[in-house]
Chain A
Amino acid sequence: MSGLVVVGGGFVREQLRAPLTLVLLVAIPAFFVLIFAGVLGEFSRALGGTLPVRSATAISAGWAAAFLSGTLAFFQVSSSRGADRRLAAAGLGAGRVALARIVAALLLGATVSAVAFTTLWLRSGIGHPLHAAVAILAFAAIYIGVGALLGAFVAGPLEGSLLVMLVFALDAFSGPQMTSSGGIGAFTPTLHAANLLIATGGGQGSPSGDWTSVAAVALGSLAVALAAFWFAARTRKA
Chain B
Amino acid sequence: MLSARTRTATVMAFRNQRRHPLVPILLVLVPAFIVLWSVAITQSTPHRLELPGGVWVTTTMKELHGPEMAKFTVAFVAALVGVFVMRSALAGDRRLVVAGFRARETMLARVFVLVAATLVVVAVSAMVTAVEFTPTSWPPVLAALVLIGLIYGAIGALAGALLDKLAATYLILFLVLADLSVVQTPMFHPTPSRFAALLPGYGPTRLMLAGAFGHTFTPTGALLIALAWAGGLWVAVYLVLRRRLGVKGAIGLPPDTLRGYLGKESQR
Contact = CB atoms under 8 A, between A and B. Distances in A.
A124 B166 CA distance: 30
Contact of B166 (A15, A36, A159, A173): A15
Nearest to B20: A156
A89 interface: no
Range of interface residues on B (Cβ < 8 Å): 35 or more
Question: Interface SS of chain A: helix, strand, loop or mixed?
Answer: helix
Contact of B23 (A18, A42, A43, A156): A156
Given A17-B164, A35-B178, A166 B45 contact: no
Interface string A159-189: 1011101100110011000111100000000
A13 to B, nearest CB: 13
A107 to B, nearest CB: 15
Nearest to A23: B167
A157 interface: yes
Nearest to B43: A48
A42 B167 contact: no
A216 interface: no
Contact of A47 (B29, B41, B85): B41
B131 interface: no
Nearest to A49: B41
Nearest to B33: A166
Given A165-B30, A181-B41, A27 B174 contact: yes
A46 B166 contact: no
Nearest 6 interchain pairs by C-beta: A18-B164, A24-B170, A158-B84, A179-B41, A46-B61, A21-B167
Given A46-B61, A156-B20, 17 more contacts: A20-B163, A25-B170, A46-B43, A46-B47, A46-B65, A46-B187, A68-B170, A75-B165, A75-B166, A75-B169, A161-B84, A166-B26, A166-B29, A169-B33, A170-B37, A173-B34, A181-B41
